[in-house]
Structure 1
Amino acid sequence: AFGRLDAAKPLAGAALGRVAAPDITPAGLAARGWTGADLQTFFATGIAPQGSAYGEMFPVVHLSSQYLNKADLAAMSTYLLGDQPPQPQPLKPVSADAALLKPGRQHYLAVCAGCHGRDGEGKPHVAVAMLGNSTVRNADPHNLIVSMLDGIEAQKFPGLESLQDMPGFASRMSDAELADLANYLRASYGGQPGDVSADKVKALRAEAGKGH
């Protein structure tokens, strides 16, 4: 109730704010395809093949981790993944029926593909890839739904890298449409089941309205 750490679940993450802290245990990172090299790139630049820093993680990179030297980046990666890191899990193939994913595919082509690519490949200096994206691969769809509802501000990363702003679709798409889109993304690009309900979207939409 007061935001106290649960010592029984170190680094397992929790939804303390609008954007939930993901599971960064070795198993949790490996499940979303992270390697030690990718973690070091992410902490140094804010961008990796698994996506970009956003929410409360963006200022961590902007104000802190980008200034770490290579030895410190390697040490932090080892701390998170362990001395014998688990093998990153390959992306699972699409298991959902194409007909069930068709509505979500149509929404994706209409509002997402212009930036994220027709097949989720992303566009350099515009938007990250959806294919294999850590948020899309997360078993918990919380952050994916929040990103679609709220959008993400334009971001400038170390060096000359930047990504365009992502608009929120809370006022443009219904709960059912966003659920279809989330399920298409999860099943097609994240190896996750398409089990997001309109009620789940509705609940997170309501939380935004309360200022959470």
Structure 2
Amino acid sequence: MKNKLKGLGAALCVALPFLAQAPADAATPAGAGAADQALVQRGAYLAQLGDCAACHTAPKGKPFAGGLPMNTPMGRIYVTNITPDAQTGIGGYTEADFARALREGVAKDGHNLYPAMPYPSYAKVNDDDVKALYAFFMRGVAPVQQANRESDIKWPLNMRWPLMFWNMAFLEKGAYRDKPGKDVAWNRGAYLVQGLGHCGSCHTPRGVAFQESALDESGSAFLSGALLDGWFASNLTGEHNAGLGRWSDEDLRTFLKTGANRHASAFGAMTSVINNSTQALSDQDVAAVSAYLKSLPPVGGNGAAAYTYDPQATKVSLDRPANDAGARVYTAYCMHCHGVDGRGFAPMLAPLAGNPNVLAKDASSLINVTLNGTGDLVINGVPSPFPMPGFAAVLDDKQIADVLSFVRAGWNNGAPAVGAAEVAKLRQSTQAGR
């Protein structure tokens, strides 16, 4: 999608930390010792874990120079310059200043950052990793002189001091501490998911003050899925239908490295996460993340019986599509990629039968991706050959509702129907400004 996550809830989750790879012209200064270079390189890897490129680099902008707009219910904010430029970036930050901004949401001059910066997650980052991140941003990123833009939020909503009280209520300070009784891989996975990976920022429901309902597995809502800016961030618990209950460890590791597996393909904001972050994880860290996520008990879901594939009812509808408006649309626009049997051609073309995104109670992601398509997954520099196209200009609201209702009922998916009013609402909100 052309615009990054827009709602405040989306901003809370998508303001992914810091960047991806150090640009070629931002090498460690000549004369720096091997230890310094190793620290910068480790910081670069940690920054990829946080995926800061997704937020701190505007389209066609210079790396990490900011300027990306994010719409909130209060107005538009603009992501800041985090290059080491002394005047307009963070070049004047000490390591202590950097750590405070990262983990407490307070800038060098003392003003509070909007929680578009997911500092409630970064609060768990340990001192050694903060040091490495600081080294990378100061010595591994090219300085860019680009002034930060003021937000479009009007007074008095633009006042920052109330955020102090938000922090008092919802910020839990202190780096992650290993849980007794858990092995090294589980604790490493928990540290990455809860901290730099800040998965909960998108995948955990939010309360009335837009705070995450839970920050770790001790809360029942943690990673149970959440609606953000027209996308439903998937359930990452062991729930059988809409979650990861049917995914093997290998399925999950494959998805993190490539964005696709036999169950589903990444789309929407998750495309950026795969492209800029998770595909760069070491095999050891991917295994740790998978071990942690696969340990989470099932929460949420659509309340239906455990999914099992059944092609028969859908086959009858497709044999005589004139009797079903949704089947007619499916036959004309969807069947060539997703198949008569709904199983697609995974991992190149996603299945619809049993896909957790299809089975989710909230159909927002299906509506959004049908209207607007999704960006390319780019794995090891190679774009995916068959990205999902958008059909906003081809299909009207009723046609999209009909075909999605057909898909959500087909192949024993058993998910609720979609209404034309739901499609119209998302069309209006996602097409604005295109």
Where in structure 2 are there 5+ consecutive unaligned residues?
1-207, 300-305
Counterpart mapping for 1:127-206 below 5 A: 127-158=349-380, 162-189=384-411, 191-206=413-428
Give the aligned residue type for 1:80: L
Give the aligned residue type for 2:268: G
Contact 1:135 1:143 in 2 (8 A): yes
Counterpart mapping for 1:32-43 below 5 A: 33-43=246-256
The aligned residue for residue 18 of structure 1 is: 230
Q: After TM superposition, which residue ranges in structure 1, 4 or more long, deviate above 6 angstroms?
A: 83-86, 94-97
Contact 1:122 1:128 in 2 (8 A): yes
Work out the percentage of aligned pairs sharing the same amino acid. 31
CA-based RMSD of the aligned residues comes to 3.1
Match of 2:332, SS?
Answer: helix
Matched, 1:91 2:308: yes
Structure 1 CA distance, aligned partners of 2:429 and 2:412?
25
Q: After the TM superposition, which of the residue ranges 136-145 and 74-83 deviates more from structure 2?
A: 74-83
Counterpart mapping for 1:54-133 below 5 A: 54-82=267-295, 89-91=306-308, 93=310, 98=317, 102-123=324-345, 127-133=349-355
Q: Deviations over 1:166-206 (max 9, x none)?
A: 22112221211111100111111461234211111112112
The aligned residue for residue 29 of structure 1 is: 243
Structure 1 CA distance, aligned partners of 2:357 and 2:380?
22
Task: Name the structure, 1 or 2, with higher relative contact order (CA <8 Å, separation 6+).
Answer: 1
Higher helix share: 1
The aligned residue for residue 265 of structure 2 is: 52
Contact 2:259 2:271 in 1 (8 A): yes
Matched, 1:4 2:226: no
* TM-score normalized by the length of structure 2: 0.43
Report which of the two structures shows the higher radius of gyration computed on alpha carbons.
2
* TM-score normalized by the length of structure 1: 0.82
Contact 1:12 1:22 in 2 (8 A): yes
Shift of the 61–143 alpha-carbon distance from structure 1 to 2, 3 Å rule, reads same
Structure 2 CA distance, aligned partners of 1:63 and 1:155?
10
